[in-house]
Chains A and B, each alone.
Chain A
Amino acid sequence: MSVAGEIVQVSGLRKRYRAEGPEAVAGIDFTVREGEIFGLLGPNGAGKTTTIGVMTTRVKPTGGTVLVDGHDVTREPVEVKRRIAVVPQLSNLDRSLSAIENLTFHAAYFGAGRRERRERALELLDRFGLRERAKDQVGRYSGGMAQRLMIARALMHQPRILFLDEPTTGLDPQSRLFLWETMLDLRTRGTTLVLTTHDMAEADRLCDRIAIVDHGSIIALDTPRGLRTLLPAARGLELLVEGAETAVAVDRTAELTDVFGGLPGVEKADVADAGDERWRIRLYGEGDDLPAAALAATGRAGLALIELRRLEGSLEEVFVHLTGRDMR
């Protein structure tokens, strides 16, 4: 049975597509709480889509269990399907039907009556700004419109959990903002959302909790803020400084590393030549007087300060720190 407040329970989940092949998911555990936005973040091929596939009954696990609202995805797929909706990454709209028919037939699959499905379809088309194109064949829809229609379709049967696979990939900024607002709005209405993404800004802004997945395992699971503290050197300063033009070429990078690295409270200084007689200096360390000391050192070295900012690990830095720089 489900623990109160936990709407999805994944335990020991494993998936191997071919007997000899590698494990796409290598034993993962997590729970999704009712009413939260839960993000699965990871590089391509990390196992996000497979995990979503199992939770939505489309992939058969080779080990472990997944309960959705207390129902096992392999033993009671029909009960699971009643409670969920999926917005896929690529359009899977019914191209033989008009936009409104896509919604009404979907609701019919879930047993809604004729009048109910028409009313709800019109309401959702209104909400998603598609009312005027309700009778168009969906083949004529743009990418952003198709995306909105797929979300409207997913909401037709009022699912308790909505799964979105990379929902904003390939959308223009307006559509992306609209989608973000829609997701936050759905959460306030009590729908649980599970999304995969590799857009850090999206994950940071939307998700209550994020699981970072790599090589089929969860390597971190926390709130966005909690994840940011995982960076070893998350605190410090970054300066952009400009020097006077010198006739003689001197290695100022080494010199600056010495100057700034020697400041009290600085554990490590990274100096990078930014071109045009400018240098980007990262000072890792703590201390309230670090900015003043750095400023004074800049003056002593005969440099002008262009930028000064406090270093706080971005989610992206956390992500790269945890998953490495290798391309997949």
Chain B
Amino acid sequence: MTAQVRTFLALCSRDLWVTVRREPAGFLIQALLQPLFFLFVFGRVLPDIGAAQGSYGTQLLPGIMSLTLVLTALQNTALPLVIEFSFTREIEDRLLAPIAVPWVGAQKMLIAALRAIVAAALILPLGALILPGGIDLHHVAWGALLLVAVFGSLTAAAMGLVLGTVVQPARISIMFALILTPLIFTGATFYPWHALERLRWFQVVTLFNPMTYVSEGMRASLTTAAHLGSGWIVLGIGVAFVLFWALGLWGFMRRAVA
């Protein structure tokens, strides 16, 4: 094992240690509270009071998994980076570790993606408990689901890296408001993409949101319902992945080495 790989793993072990030993409750609350309420209100309350069809939950679950995956990954890179670069300066000790600087950024994304995958996986049992019809796992393509989860979370983590390094610390709360809300509501989360055909302009808008491809990827691997073409899903996630990793690592280098 080369020395830099050992350093990389040591950086990861610090993050895992903090997640598991210091703040497991904090992590779960941050990752799961919002999706829990979305699942309950949209998947249970609305059908129960007759404001949505009973089958809505089946369409909702993949969307909520995607939302959890993307938001957890994004927030777990963006927020710590903003804080560590400006207020606590904790990042400095890592940047001085004997490893090439881009790997420090890559390591941040990897851990954020891992946390996001754990959070998204926890949505499945939550869905089984909350949704009126439970969940149906007969048609799940597990391999495809895993691929969507891995690349979806890595892409979202890179979006977080871009936000956390490019945006001025003082403006981060404005940027979050400006970016998160559109991201959540244009990401094919609460509706399947193909159902937007009657609202063509909005359907086109959603294609600019990387989360749309993650949500549709989840829908494609979890259900038999109609979804965005698989090729488009792969292309969408692939393009976003390359774009945001390049931008994220560039931004990280710029912040790390003046």
Interface residues of A (CB under 8 A from B): 17, 53, 56-60, 77-79, 81-82, 84-86, 88, 90-97, 101, 105-106, 108-111, 153
Contacts and interface: CB of A to CB of B under 8 A. Distances in A.
Interface in B101-138: 101
Nearest to B11: A109
Contact of A108 (B13, B92, B100): B13
Nearest to A110: B98
Interface string B75-95: 000000000000011111111
A183 B100 CA distance: 29
B257 interface: yes
26 contacts: A56-B96, A57-B96, A58-B96, A58-B257, A58-B258, A59-B257, A77-B100, A77-B101, A78-B4, A85-B96, A92-B92, A93-B90, A97-B18, A97-B22, A105-B10, A105-B13, A105-B14, A108-B14, A109-B7, A109-B10, A109-B11, A109-B94, A111-B3, A111-B6, A111-B10, A153-B93
B23 interface: yes
B255 to A, nearest CB: 11
A76 to B, nearest CB: 10
Nearest to A111: B6
Nearest to A86: B96
B36 interface: no
Contacts of B258: 17, 53, 58-60
B99 interface: yes
Contacts of A79: 98
A139 B4 CA distance: 30
Contacts of A108: 10, 13-14
Contacts of B23: 96
Contacts, number: 80
B97 interface: yes
A82 B94 CA distance: 12
A274 to B, nearest CB: 47
Contacts of B6: 111
Contact of B93 (A60, A77, A78, A92): A92
B90 A106 contact: no
A95 B88 contact: yes
Contacts of B257: 57-60
A96 B100 contact: no
Interface in B1-51: 3-4, 6-7, 10-11, 13-14, 17-18, 22-23
A88 B7 contact: no
Contacts of B96: 56-58, 81, 84-86
Given A93-B93, A106-B93, A153-B93, 5 more contacts: A58-B95, A58-B257, A88-B92, A95-B90, A111-B7
The 6 closest A-B pairs by CB, nearest first: A92-B89, A109-B97, A108-B10, A92-B92, A82-B98, A96-B18
A94 B93 contact: yes
A156 to B, nearest CB: 11
Contacts of A78: 4, 98-100
Nearest to B94: A109
A299 to B, nearest CB: 62
Contacts of A106: 93
A132 B99 CA distance: 33
Nearest to B23: A96
Nearest to A98: B22
Contacts of B14: 94, 97, 105, 108
Contacts of A105: 10, 13-14, 17
Interface in B203-231: none
A79 B11 CA distance: 18
A58 B95 CA distance: 8
B98 A81 contact: yes
Nearest to B100: A78
A206 to B, nearest CB: 23
Given A60-B257, A78-B99, A110 B7 contact: yes
A88 B22 contact: no
Of the listed residues A53, A79, A84, A92, the one surrounded by the most CB atoms of chain B closer than 10 A to its CB is: A92
B8 to A, nearest CB: 9
Contacts of A56: 96
A96 B22 contact: yes
Nearest to A108: B10
Contacts of B97: 81, 109-110
A92 B88 contact: yes
Contacts of A111: 3, 6-7, 10, 98
A130 B110 CA distance: 34
B122 to A, nearest CB: 22
A222 to B, nearest CB: 30
Contacts of B91: 92
Residue from B89, B91, B94, B97 having most chain A Cβ neighbours under 10 A: B97
A126 to B, nearest CB: 22
Given A58-B258, A96-B22, A88 B89 contact: yes
A85 B96 CA distance: 8
Nearest to B103: A78
